[in-house]
Chain A
Amino acid sequence: MPDPLAPLLEGYAEDRLRLPFCEKCGKPHLYPRARCPHCGNASLAWREASGRGSLASWSVVHRAPSPDFAAEVPYTVALVRLEEGPQLMTRVVDAPEEALRLGLPLTLRFATMPGGERRPVFAPEGVSA
């Protein structure tokens, strides 16, 4: 069985956020699974996400979970609901905590995490990188 995460992680390495859409029921999902969690179908097509989403929750981390993150605190870990429907964990960048609210419109960027991973992060719409 191929790793269901592989297409997503390969996309991340190229600064692309692609979602697995079910070829039967048409719905996308995250986190990636071998079968569509909505209908159980195993045939999935990976398509580019719009990169638009809204803020579903967040937490500003003040205490690093390990020394790797110590230089970065405080940082904002967030849950973002993508325009296509699925939700993922990410970070919100370039936004003070006071500006955060549920439903805040966000757009996709990519950033390198302290462990070296290239990962999607989000910034408020209209804030340029």
Chain B
Amino acid sequence: MEALYATMTGALAACGLYLTLRGRTFPVVVGLTLLSYAVNLFLFSTGGLTTNGAAVIKEHAGHYADPLPQALVLTAIVIGFAMTAFSVILAIRVRGELGSDDVNMARSDESREGKS
């Protein structure tokens, strides 16, 4: 199971990285989302993968899953969700204001900052 899990996480991260390096805003946003999924999966595995173990520690529990990574993943998911929402809105604003969804557009505007 470890090998499958690691491969899947790696594949997600690789796809995310590839899309993040694309030249248009939408693939970049999707890429960042995939990257954050990969990170969440990775965080989840940091306590070691446990099957058939409860998350909660009982008094004399012999077999349990590390609860802390699960708490971390929850936090990371919430934050990642907010960030994704923000970057989607920002990408729409970029499209609206600059008239293009190219990440590197409007380089020529650089020297005219004072005028805008």
Whether chain B is bound by chain A comes out as no
